[in-house]
Structure 1
Amino acid sequence: MRQASSALFSAGWSEDAVEASVRLYCEAIALDPKLALARAQKALLMALASRWGLLKGDAPREEARADAEMALEMEPTKSEVLGCAGCALADLGDTERALSLLERAIEENPNNAQAWSALGATQLLRQKYEPGVESLRRGLRISPTDYRRSVWLTALAGGLIRLEKPDEALAAAQSACRADSKFYPAQIVLALVLAKLGKEAEAVKALTEARRIRPRLAIGEIRLWAGRVLDRPAASLGL
């Protein structure tokens, strides 16, 4: 399972990296079908990749949901399983159920950084920005050097933008970029913050870096993270 996660983050999020990571999870599950955590982590990966446009169609979403449900059936009280499966369900659109699962994950283990961060991201999806930001910060305090912190910091920056705290959002986005130089969404959110601060030239530079990391970057992916705020800077790059 570690190999699957490290393969994704070391290669950077892309269609090929997601496919390779999913394959490694499938191999682990084939060797031991009772690995509930592997199913939950695979569900989370596929749910995120589907939401971000790295997996296409309904089939990956259905597979992610099936894996999440199976993991929860196998290990209904294990904090790590609850955290990953809950986050997967949130990314699949079932945020109400996800909240309950993530709260249970934290009850089982208050030091589960992933569950706190997933709770924060889910709260942001439900437009609960203040508690979402605080939950994300709690997760980052628990595990400040976590290999997933670029994802959490990117979500935090997005929440701070919603709270109209651009300076704090800028610091979070910059930290996300430093935490993982291959995580292109961090550069998109950094560009969003810079654009809101009136620094369009710097926003273009951040988008240029996002496209360097992800050569297939398209305007639809940028809008997923930034709405239409970055349409003009993106157009200047031919996106």
Structure 2
Amino acid sequence: MQESYRFDRFELRPSERVLLVDGAPAALGSRAFDLLLCLVVHHDRVLTKGEVLEQVWPGQVVEENNLSVHVSALRKVLGAGAITTISGRGYRFTLDLLPAPGTRPDAAPPAPEQLAQLERPTIAVLPLSVLSNDPRIGFFAQGLVEDVTALLARVPGFILIAHASSLAFRGLQAPLQDVARQLGVRFLVQGSVRPKADALRVSLQLIEAASARILWSAQFDSQADSLADGAVDAQENIARGIISELEPELTRAEIAHIRRQRPENLDAWAHYHEAVGALAAQGWSADGMATARDELRRSTALDPNFGLSHGHYALLTIVASNIGMVPDTPDLRADVLASANSAITLDDGSSEVLGYAGCALCDLGHYKRGIDTLQHALELNPSNAQAHVAMGAALAMNRKFDEGVERMRYGMKISPRDRRLGFWGWLLGRFLLRADRVDEALVEARRSCRVDPRFHLPHLLQAAALDRLGAPTDAVNALRAARQRRSQLSLDEVTLTHGRRIGERIALLWDQTE
């Protein structure tokens, strides 16, 4: 997949998940973005409705009118003639694609040998193709990928790309060399899940990206009427097969099961993914945070033993409080602490759960226990990007600034397509500005604005950095952008999120943005 697609006055950047209109980010929902990318990638042919639904809503039962709504929304942004409906067949993207700057239209792609120059062996597990409309099979496939990723993280000598970045390629039919180049990996694991009589068949391949050579392939069957048990059995067999190819000396070692906490109630799992989807669709906005927290409450109400929802709710709630989106009260802090404790008690073997809970504890000010919990999360999965970033932030807050910044940057590096990069970049930039590393802070602020155009805090950070650099006009414009994205933004919030010194400076610019 290309780094960007240019057409008319638009530029589509898959890695940043942003559509630029005359250089400015357009307000586009996550599903609409996936639909547009799907149409643009396959611009040379008509896509049937079935193909679009499978690629944009994999493993889900979706009404066709839902597709029509998103197509209509895209036409409002791109123009009525950008997407043509072919009666009885499907859709086709009709705008002419322009060559990337500095390249010829017939330029040859980078040589495969370039992929072999990666410094260390790296691997990514791609989302499995789900060849069924049964949502249970979709959940099975998601959980299987997460568990295989967690097992592979224990293989010494390899860098495993975080699951959140690999997830960005779900449903996209891109050349493997392009996928590998964007993720920065040497090896890829891909495959599919499909029903077969009374079983589920999982097919997997281990691929060397530079040569597209299949190093290993295998099939595993799991009983369709016992998905939870089948997931554990299949995960162990799959992991043994992959590790036997990657690290022959480990074939004699015992591979422990990673029995991640799965909710017994599938509706609880669905509400959890609605929460994740709200953040992806609405960014780190007040509405996105509120929707996500509501969905996580519904998830834990349906299944009080679902540790992942407890941990994620604890983290989002304290973050919302710390950035001024909800009042900081004793009751809220007690709620966060109870949720973090529940998450750890319910699922202390899940790196993801411990990463969320440990970060929430640090944000509450319980640094010792929070850092210990994050350390445990990283022992379980050294490729947990969120835990690395949280650990870095905790270290930076505890007088280990250089070590903390380095850890945060590492976490962001190993998850280059992560939906949380907008928030993480703002947080890193805030630490850099406090250390008077203003130019670096401005770089992070601008990058965060591109990654999540709807999030107001990177624009506020950009205003503070520009003010520090003596660019008052640009600072006012950045502050105005922040206030446009959060109409309730107040000077008290500025002080809360960026400190008293910056709050006083921003106050001098405030009236110029009204």
Q: What is the TM-score normalised by the length of structure 1?
A: 0.93
- Matching residue within 415, 418, 438 for 1:143: 415
Q: Is the 8 A contact 1:132 1:159 kept in 2?
A: no
User: Residue 385 of structure 2 contacts residue 411 of structure 2 at CA under 8 Å; is this kept in 1?
Assistant: yes
Q: 1:77, CA displacement in angstroms?
A: 2.9
Identity %: 37
My pick for the range that moved more, 172-181 or 9-18, is 9-18
Residue deviations 1:53-86, cap 9 Å, x none? Answer: 2122222221111000011011123211110001
Q: Does 1:125 align with 2:125?
A: no
Structure 2 residue 493 is matched with structure 1 residue 221: yes
Figure out how many residues of one structure are paired with residues of the other and give that number. 238
Task: Please identify the structure whose Cα radius of gyration is greater.
Answer: 2
Q: Letter of the aligned partner of 2:320 in structure 1?
A: A
Q: Which amino acid aligns with 1:36?
A: G
SS at match of 2:348: coil
Unaligned runs of 5+ in 1: none
Counterpart Cα distance in 1 of 2:359 and 2:422: 16
Q: SS of the counterpart of 1:54?
A: coil
Partner-residue secondary structure (3-state), 2:432: helix
Structure number having the greater helix percentage: 1
Query: Equivalent residue for 1:51?
Result: 322
Question: What is the alpha-carbon distance in structure 2 between the residues aligned to residue 206 and residue 100 of structure 1?
Answer: 38
Amino acid at match of 1:124: A
Determine if contact 1:68/1:89 at 8 Å carries over to the other structure.
yes
Q: Does the residue aligned with 1:18 lie in a helix, a strand or coil?
A: helix
**Could you give the per-residue CA deviations for residues 122-165 of structure 1, whole angstroms, max 9, x where no partner exists?**
12222321111101101111101100001111111122223332
1:27 aligns with 2:298: yes
Q: What is the rounded CA distance, in whole Å, between the counterparts of 2:284 and 2:330 in structure 1?
A: 20
Q: Where does residue 94 of structure 1 map in the other structure?
A: 366
- In the other structure, the counterpart of 1:106 is 378
Contact 2:285–2:455 (CA under 8 A) maintained in structure 1:
no
Structure 1 residue 14 displacement after superposition: 4.6
Which residue number corresponds to residue 11 of structure 1?
282
Contact (CA 8 Å) 1:157, 1:172: kept in 2 or not? yes
Say if 1:151 and 1:13 are closer, same or farther in 2 by CA, change over 3 A: closer
| TM-score normalised to structure 2 length | 0.45
1-side partners of 2:488 and 2:332: how far apart? 20
Structure 2 regions of 5+ residues with no counterpart?
A: 1-271
Give the whole-Å Cα distance in 2 for the aligned partners of 1:195 and 1:147: 28
Q: Does 1:233 align with 2:509?
A: yes
2:346 corresponds to which residue?
74
In the aligned structure 1, how far is the partner of 2:460 from the partner of 2:391? Answer: 22
Q: SS of the counterpart of 1:143?
A: coil
Structure 2 CA distance, aligned partners of 1:10 and 1:92? Answer: 27
- The answer as to whether partners of 1:89 and 1:95 remain within 8 angstroms in 2 is yes
CA-based RMSD = 1.6
Change (3 A) 1:31 1:19: same
Q: In the alignment, is the contact (CA less than 8 A) between 2:377 and 2:384 conserved in 1?
A: yes
Q: 1:152 to 1:14 in 2, by over 3 A?
A: closer
Amino acid at match of 1:22: R
Partner Cα distance (1:60, 1:9) in 2 = 25
Kept after mapping to 2: 8 A contact 1:189/1:225: no
Determine the C-alpha separation between the residues in 1 that align with 2:399 and 2:445: 20
